[in-house]
Amino acid sequence: MVLPGGRCRRRERDRRRRAAAGARRCGDRGRRGGRGVRRGVCRRPRQPGCGIGPAGHRHRRRRRRGHRHRRHRHRRHRRHRRRQRRRGRRAAGRGRGGAGGRPDRRRGGWRRRRTGRRRQRGRRRWWRAHRLRRVGHREAMTTDAGERLVDGYALVVFDLDGVIYLIDRPIPGAVEAVGRLHAEGRSVAYATNNASRRSSEVADLLTGMGVPARPEEVLTSAAAAAELLRDRLPAGAAVLVVGTEALRAELGAVGLSPVSRADESPLAVVQGFGPQVCWADLAEASVAVRGGATWVATNADPTLPSGRGPLPGNGSLVAVLRTALGRDPDVVVGKPEPALFTTAARRAGQGRTLLVGDRLDTDIEGARRAGLDSLLVLTGVSDAAELLAAPAHRRPTYVSMDLAGLFDPAAVVRVPGPANAGGWSVAPRGDTLELSGAGRPLDALAVLCTAAWSARSARIRPGSAEAEKALAELGLSG
């Protein structure tokens, strides 16, 4: 049937049905009471992707309706994607990972499209946030790549025996390390339990070895003991000295009178290391302490490092009097008491202080008592086996073979380290820990510290040829 104007009734009916369906599906409400189907509005049924965002947008008519619809759909789809990207950028800092955490997938943070350099920058930014969340801000097993250990501290305090020198010979690399610190303008101090030399004598000894040192940079247990007795005793009081002439000189410098016999009525006995200390000196000290004198020991180090191995130290001589008197000294001035370290830390002002030592029972324990970070170097008394068996109050912050760890990030490790890192892993085998893998021996030591301190077992055996070599280098193959 032909309608007025020459139009076919069937075609006109189909056209109106399509228009009504397009209005309902594309957003124009048409027969539902809305604006109706208007000229310039898409009338095609909704297809995948169409209808995202506000509907009913006008566009210029074209002869090809299919092309017009595709253009309409893509334009609206692009606007929707832009809105998603904006929401994703706003949500990236408050996603499920917290501030700086993982973007929320539901907000479109994972669907942002980047090209070229912009995409790479976004990936790097996400990886930094993801890594911080994954490791929980835990410090890496070694210091950060490119960051030296010494850069994090304002003052470095060195022990002397076993760190800078052995008896009277400098340890290889120590002179260069201290010279480098001075060349960079960093603050340096020296703390020693050896009471056989005065501060000026220690400074002269270091300067003769090639290490520039001033007397005010040297902190000795002899000077600390003299200052302690000066505060407790009246001026000119008699003090019986068991030790060297250096200890006598320190007492005389603070206004006290050093004596050698118990019948001179000393008010205190100060005992320090001296190679010439004999039975007669210990006998006079025993009589004076039994008579009521205060007993002060400069330090309690049982041994001294030497080129021939550990030798008896002042702690061994103190043990003789402890056995004879049946009691401990009234005061022990030197390490591990924190007095030397707190005095040195005050010189650093607001900065942090790092202690470098070779003994767990004096240097490292004293640093922990004073609340300072510590670096254990394996050039003196304590070795890797003692480190693995160390109790909690004698565990260092870092470990290095020598003083090169101050400047080389690859020559120092933080302990305890990750359970499996640096190519090494440790597995318990009964009451023994088995080390397997390959890598640097120092990384193996950090992994072993983690396992030994948690399992409370120091028995180690190799699980591979590389592990056997690493254990031999660390002195743990026996």
Q: Report the Cα–Cα distance between both ends of the chain, in Å, rounded.
A: 109
Residue 297's DSSP bridge partners are 271, 332
Distances from the Cα of 104 to the Cα of 52, 72, 201, 242, angstroms: 21, 29, 67, 73
361 labelled catalytic:
no
- Spatial neighbors of 60 by CB under 8 A, at least 6 apart, are 40
Q: Which of 428, 474, 471 lies closest to 450, judged by CA?
A: 428
Contact call for residues 366 and 338 (beta carbons, < 8 A): yes
Residue 400's DSSP bridge partners are 377, 412
Residue 331's DSSP bridge partners are 296
Catalytic position from the list 161, 281, 301, 363: 161
Distances from the Cα of 10 to the Cα of 6, 20, 31, 65, angstroms: 12, 15, 20, 20
DSSP 3-state assignment of 8? strand
Alpha-carbon Rg of the chain, whole angstroms? 39
Q: Which of 407, 477, 420 lies closest to 447, judged by CA?
A: 420
Catalytic position from the list 159, 281, 301, 361: 159
Tokens of 182: 């001075």
Helix (H) or strand (E) holding 399: strand 398-400
Contact call for residues 153 and 373 (beta carbons, < 8 A): yes
Residue holding tokens 């001179």? Answer: 264
φ/ψ (deg, to 5) at 306 = -155, 170
Residue 31 DSSP class: G
Helix (H) or strand (E) holding 385: helix 384-388
- Spatial neighbors of 210 by CB under 8 A, at least 6 apart, are 170, 175, 179
A 10 A CB-CB count for 177 gives 22
161 labelled catalytic:
yes
Contact call for residues 149 and 405 (beta carbons, < 8 A): yes
Contact call for residues 424 and 447 (beta carbons, < 8 A): yes
Tokens of 270: 């100060």
Strand 373-377 vs strand 353-357: parallel, antiparallel, or unpaired? parallel
Q: Which of 418, 362, 336, 446 lies closest to 163, judged by CA?
A: 362
Query: DSSP for 156-209?
Result: EEE-SBTTTEETTEEPTTHHHHHHHHHHTT-EEEEEE--TTS-HHHHHHHHHHH
Q: Where does residue 354 fall: left (phi above 0), alpha (psi -120 to 50 degrees), or beta otherwise?
A: beta
Residues serving a catalytic function are 159, 161
